[in-house]
């Protein structure tokens, strides 16, 4: 069997690498992480000939081989390491025909590494409109390569590209230009010291320290002596190198590429005049945010309700169909609701990524960064952080996944860490019931409802907490990241439906397979803790019957009291009792303690748990509210839910990391348990202290 061909797709951002990748592999792709870092690794396979395979790696976009971010570093580490199992037999450099000059810089660098290289000039469909003509044959000759002129949009030129890949062995591995002439004496010395090594590779190893990465220098013993050059000398050489490459490219393109400048005034400048306008730009962006918000808050609720009822009836059906017993309970009450708890997120994730991928595809996202940079950078956030922060108001899960689009790791990490502070929709039922209970139904100035204002304050508080902690984290976190800012503003494009679809499917899959396992495991654990207990738990029925023997209750009422008794004596009930001393200073009793512990499954569970403990059969808000109003604080003798404890509880829910699904997704997105645990501890501590202070001050 012939060995498989390893192909690496390399290119500047926005040249259409991912579109080419999607065309070549279809849905036959796998997205993972590079080990130890959080850069996305996309690989796929297609077959040719008699079952022979081509393995394709879609590398992160990079402008050159001088890395200035973790993403870009991935490309260099791979290209300098012949022993990597993904080391390419052939590199396909994807270029945009409209940005050929800049795209060729990277191409000439890759050629210098001596790797067989194909130049895939993408977006050929745009040539006619832009009046671009290209002498492909002459360009091939000048660059010493083979060119495939392709269009991912029209699906043209891919047969040619596949042919070139198949015959990669015939490609020239000579450099396009001699870049070492910028400092002949220096490079001569280098060549003599390492006769076995590729000169450009040596140069990269020497200069990477100046830039970003750490390369394994085992094979380059003694190279340190070449660093005697001062850093600023090396930098000057790099500048000279870049200028030399551009000179070569300019000369080459002068003879081969012709662009009719008359067509320069185009759609782009007209759209930019509005979309990046000082006023209209923000109005439009705000409108788009509103639309996204509407989609994940409102439109998603229909499929979510459907998922909710479907899983509920599935659970019901299982219980009536299977023989009663522990195993059936596990399936019907543990596993099925646990799965439902994963599936329920899919509509929001799908909607959010539908919008985000359209915004990215059209090129609009770069305009968002342009508009928001000034405001967001003060808090250590990226212009792109706005989308996750707003989406977090519906749900932190899709919001945190949306941070993938932030290129800078520090800005991305900060966004991930602070997003859970924003008021997600699961907090709403908790807020509503407590506000109704402890905030008077008065009006301020005769117009504004005090309860409504309180709710608004809770939203502002969440947002404020996010922004404020971002500011702190920016000062505290010591993460090396690119300190300067330069963003390319790509051409506006109509999104490719295939790209959008693949993004949505990919994100959903990543959530279900990545975070889903953890969510399912924790929800089963929580269910077991709530459904089993030591000692008297198992005699709940007879104990309750005895207790209420004189009261003449009907079967339904008995059953409610049994449930309540069971919950109190379950393991979770024991935990609630155990933590009572800790939560009493906040104004809570053990029942609230239980509700807080079990609402770790999802915040809104708080209300349902209280309903069970208070033996009120329905989750009707009025009934629970009346029952809660009647509760008495065992120590103080005052109503348990008064102004002080209510405010304390509101604040606790505003700040606490009360959501296992969020922890699971943070684990996935940061590729370690360190950050979610950090979040859990710090957020809980803040919540505890603030709630404690509020209660002690107000009581």
Partner 1 sequence: MLTIASLKKGQRAIIKEFSVDVVPLKLLEMGCLPGNEVHLVQTAPFQDPLYLNINGSHLAIRRETASKIEIELI
Ligand X SMILES: Nc1nc2c(ncn2[C@@H]2O[C@H](COP(=O)(O)OP(=O)(O)O)[C@@H](O)[C@H]2O)c(=O)[nH]1
Query: What is d(CA 201, CA 197) in angstroms, rounded to the nearest whole number?
Result: 7
Is 236 near partner 1 (CB under 8 A)?
yes
CB nearer to partner 1: pick between 259 and 524: 259
In contact, 31 and 506? CB cutoff 8 Å: yes
Is 176 near partner 1 (CB under 8 A)?
no
CB nearer to partner 1: pick between 66 and 642: 66
CB nearer to ligand X: pick between 366 and 385: 366
- Please list every residue from 393 through 432 that binds partner 1, using CB under 8 A: none
Query: What is d(CA 161, CA 147) in angstroms, rounded to the nearest whole number?
Result: 8
Q: Which stretch binds Mg ion (CB under 5 A): 17-25, 239-247, 317-325, 672-680?
A: 17-25
CB nearer to ligand X: pick between 93 and 295: 93
Is 126 near partner 1 (CB under 8 A)?
no
- Among Mg ion, ligand X, partner 1, none, residue 152 binds (CB under 5-8 Å by kind): ligand X
Choosing from 29, 366, 503, 658, the residue that interacts with partner 1 (CB under 8 A) is 366
Residue 506: closest CA among 32, 6, 20, 9: 32
- Among Mg ion, ligand X, partner 1, none, residue 486 binds (CB under 5-8 Å by kind): partner 1
- Among ligand X, partner 1, Mg ion, none, residue 122 binds (CB under 5-8 Å by kind): ligand X
In contact, 593 and 583? CB cutoff 8 Å: yes
Query: What is d(CA 519, CA 421) in angstroms, rounded to the nearest whole number?
Result: 20
List residues bridging with 29 in a β-sheet. 44
CB nearer to partner 1: pick between 81 and 242: 242
Using CB under 8 A as the criterion, what x/- string covers residues 275-304 for binding partner 1? -xxx--------------------------
Chain CA centroid to CA 82, Å = 31
- Among partner 1, ligand X, Mg ion, none, residue 211 binds (CB under 5-8 Å by kind): partner 1
Q: Read out DSSP for 489-516? A: -PPP-PPPHHHHHHHHHHHHHHIIIIIH
Query: What is d(CA 94, CA 158) in angstroms, rounded to the nearest whole number?
Result: 12
CB of 642 to ligand X, least distance (A): 56
Choosing from 29, 43, 151, 569, the residue that interacts with ligand X (CB under 6 A) is 151
Query: What is d(CA 291, CA 299) in angstroms, rounded to the nearest whole number?
Result: 10
Is 126 near ligand X (CB under 6 A)?
yes
- Please list every residue from 102 through 121 that binds partner 1, using CB under 8 A: 102, 105
Using CB under 8 A as the criterion, what x/- string covers residues 186-215 for binding partner 1? -------------------------x----
- Among Mg ion, ligand X, partner 1, none, residue 265 binds (CB under 5-8 Å by kind): none
Query: What is d(CA 338, CA 311) in angstroms, rounded to the nearest whole number?
Result: 10
- Bin 587: left if φ > 0, else alpha if -120 < ψ < 50, else beta: left
In contact, 21 and 58? CB cutoff 8 Å: yes
CB of 14 to partner 1, least distance (A): 11
List of E strands, 378-481: 443-444, 448-449
CB of 275 to ligand X, least distance (A): 15
Chain CA centroid to CA 597, Å = 27
- 3-class secondary-structure state, position 122: strand
Residue 142: closest CA among 170, 107, 183: 107
Is 469 near ligand X (CB under 6 A)?
no
Q: Which stretch binds ligand X (CB under 6 A): 15-23, 78-86, 371-379, 400-408?
A: 15-23
Q: How many CA atoms lie within 13 A of 606 on its CB side?
A: 23
In contact, 662 and 654? CB cutoff 8 Å: no
DSSP-H helix ranges across 172-226 = 184-193, 199-208
- Please list every residue from 466 through 525 that binds partner 1, using CB under 8 A: 482, 484-490
Is 366 near Mg ion (CB under 5 A)?
no
Is 369 near partner 1 (CB under 8 A)?
yes
Choosing from 6, 14, 15, 18, the residue that interacts with Mg ion (CB under 5 A) is 18
Is 46 near partner 1 (CB under 8 A)?
no
Choosing from 19, 29, 38, 66, the residue that interacts with partner 1 (CB under 8 A) is 66
Choosing from 214, 254, 374, 475, the residue that interacts with partner 1 (CB under 8 A) is 374
C-alpha angle 275/278/282, rounded to 5°?
60
Residue 365: closest CA among 350, 379, 386, 348: 386
List of E strands, 408-477: 443-444, 448-449
Query: What is d(CA 168, CA 172) in angstroms, rounded to the nearest whole number?
Result: 9
Choosing from 15, 38, 68, 531, the residue that interacts with partner 1 (CB under 8 A) is 68
At a CB cut-off of 8 Å and minimum separation 6, what does 139 contact? Answer: 147, 252, 256, 257
Q: Which stretch binds partner 1 (CB under 8 A): 60-68, 166-174, 220-228, 441-449?
A: 60-68
CB of 123 to ligand X, least distance (A): 4
Query: What is d(CA 669, CA 666) in angstroms, rounded to the nearest whole number?
Result: 5
Choosing from 142, 153, 566, 667, the residue that interacts with ligand X (CB under 6 A) is 153
Choosing from 239, 313, 536, 696, the residue that interacts with partner 1 (CB under 8 A) is 239
In contact, 538 and 555? CB cutoff 8 Å: no
- Among partner 1, Mg ion, ligand X, none, residue 16 binds (CB under 5-8 Å by kind): ligand X
Query: What is d(CA 484, CA 474) in angstroms, rounded to the nearest whole number?
Result: 15
Q: Which stretch binds ligand X (CB under 6 A): 13-21, 323-331, 584-592, 641-649?
A: 13-21
CB of 360 to partner 1, least distance (A): 16
The helix (H) or strand (E) run that includes residue 46 is strand 40-48
Q: What is the dihedral of CA 555, 560, 564, 566, to 10 degrees?
A: 50
CB nearer to partner 1: pick between 3 and 254: 254
- Please list every residue from 303 through 362 that binds ligand X, using CB under 6 A: 361
CB nearer to Mg ion: pick between 18 and 109: 18
Choosing from 94, 371, 424, 666, the residue that interacts with partner 1 (CB under 8 A) is 371
Q: What are phi and psi of 120, to 5 degrees?
A: -100, 105
List of E strands, 589-643: none
Query: What is d(CA 170, CA 488) in angstroms, rounded to the nearest whole number?
Result: 35
CB of 61 to Mg ion, least distance (A): 6
Q: Which stretch binds ligand X (CB under 6 A): 30-38, 151-159, 527-535, 579-587?
A: 151-159
Is 630 near partner 1 (CB under 8 A)?
no
What is the binding site for ligand X (CB under 6 A)? 11, 13-19, 61, 122-123, 125-126, 151-153, 361, 493, 495-496, 499
What is the binding site for partner 1 (CB under 8 A)? 63-64, 66, 68, 99, 101-102, 105, 211, 232, 235-236, 238-239, 242-243, 246, 269, 272-273, 276-278, 366, 369-371, 373-374, 482, 484-490
What is the binding site for Mg ion (CB under 5 A)? 18
């Amino acid at each position: 069997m012939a060995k498989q061909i390893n192909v690496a797709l390399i290119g500047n951002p926005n040249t259409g690498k991912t579109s080419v990748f999607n065309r070549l592999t279809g849905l036959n792709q796998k997205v993972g992480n590079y080990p130890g870092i959080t850069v996305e690794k996309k690989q796929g396979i297609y077959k040719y000939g008699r079952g022979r395979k081509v393995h394709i790696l879609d590398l992160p976009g990079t402008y050159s081989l001088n890395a200035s971010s973790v993403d870009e570093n991935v490309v260099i580490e791979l290209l300098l390491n012949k022993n990597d199992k993904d080391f390419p037999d052939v590199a396909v450099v994807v270029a945009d025909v409209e940005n050929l000059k800049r795209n060729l810089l990277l191409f000439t660098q890759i050629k210098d590494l001596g790797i067989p290289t194909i130049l895939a000039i993408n977006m050929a469909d745009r040539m006619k409109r832009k009046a671009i003509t290209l002498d492909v044959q002459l360009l091939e000759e000048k660059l010493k390569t083979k060119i495939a002129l392709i269009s991912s949009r029209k699906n043209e030129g891919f047969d040619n590209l596949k042919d070139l890949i198949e015959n990669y062995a015939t490609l020239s591995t000579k450099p396009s230009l001699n870049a070492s002439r910028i400092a002949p004496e220096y490079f001569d010395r280098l060549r003599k010291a390492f006769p076995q090594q590729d000169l450009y590779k040596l140069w990269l190893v020497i200069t990477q320290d100046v830039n970003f990465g750490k390369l394994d220098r085992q094979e380059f013993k003694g190279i340190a002596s070449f660093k005697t050059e001062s850093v600023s000398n090396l930098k000057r050489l790099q500048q000279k190198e870049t200028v030399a490459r551009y000179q070569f490219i300019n000369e080459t393109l002068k003879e081969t590429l012709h662009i009719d400048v008359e067509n320069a005034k185009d759609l782009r400048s007209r759209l930019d005049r509005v979309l990046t306008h000082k006023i209209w730009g923000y109005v439009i962006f705000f409108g788009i945010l509103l639309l996204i918000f509407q989609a994940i808050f409102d439109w998603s609720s229909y499929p979510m309700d459907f998922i909710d009822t479907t899983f509920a009836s599935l659970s019901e059906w299982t219980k009536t169909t299977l023989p009663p017993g522990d195993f059936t309970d596990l399936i019907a009450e543990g596993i099925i609701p646990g799965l439902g708890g994963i599936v329920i997120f899919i509509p929001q994730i799908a909607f959010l990524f539908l919008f985000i991928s359209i915004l990215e595809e059209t090129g609009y996202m770069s305009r968002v960064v342009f508009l928001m940079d000034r405001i967001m950078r003060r808090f250590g956030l990226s212009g792109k952080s706005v989308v996750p922060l707003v989406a977090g108001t519906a749900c932190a899960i899709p919001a945190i996944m949306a941070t993938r689009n932030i290129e800078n790791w520090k800005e991305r990490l900060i966004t991930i860490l602070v997003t859970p502070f924003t008021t997600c929709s699961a907090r709403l039922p908790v807020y509503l019931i407590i506000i109704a209970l402890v905030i008077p139904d008065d009006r301020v100035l005769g117009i504004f409802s005090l309860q409504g204002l309180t709710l608004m304050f809770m939203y502002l508080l969440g947002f404020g907490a996010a922004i404020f902690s971002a500011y702190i984290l920016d000062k505290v976190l010591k993460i090396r990241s690119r300190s300067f800012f330069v963003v390319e503003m790509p051409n506006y494009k109509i999104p490719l439906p295939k790209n959008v679809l693949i993004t949505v499917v990919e994100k959903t899959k990543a959530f279900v397979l990545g975070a889903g396992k953890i969510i399912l495991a924790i929800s089963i654990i929580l269910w077991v803790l709530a459904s089993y207990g030591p000692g008297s738990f198992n005699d709940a029925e007879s104990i309750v019957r005895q207790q209420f023997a004189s009261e003449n209750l009907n079967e339904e009422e008995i059953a409610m009291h049994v449930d309540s008794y069971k919950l109190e004596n379950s393991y979770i009930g024991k935990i609630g009792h155990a933590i009572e001393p800790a939560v009493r200073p906040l104004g809570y009793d053990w029942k609230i303690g239980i509700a807080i512990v079990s609402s770790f499954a999802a915040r809104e569970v708080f209300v349902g748990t209280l309903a069970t403990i208070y033996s009120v059969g329905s989750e009707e808000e009025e009934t629970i509210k009346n029952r809660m109003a009647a509760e008495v604080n065992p120590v103080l003798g005052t109503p348990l839910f008064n102004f002080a404890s209510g405010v304390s509880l509101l604040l606790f829910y505003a700040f606490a990391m009360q959501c296992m699904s969020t922890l699971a997704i943070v684990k996935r997105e940061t590729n370690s348990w360190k950050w979610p645990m950090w979040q859990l501890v710090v957020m809980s501590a803040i919540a505890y202290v603030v709630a404690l202070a509020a209660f002690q001050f107000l009581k």
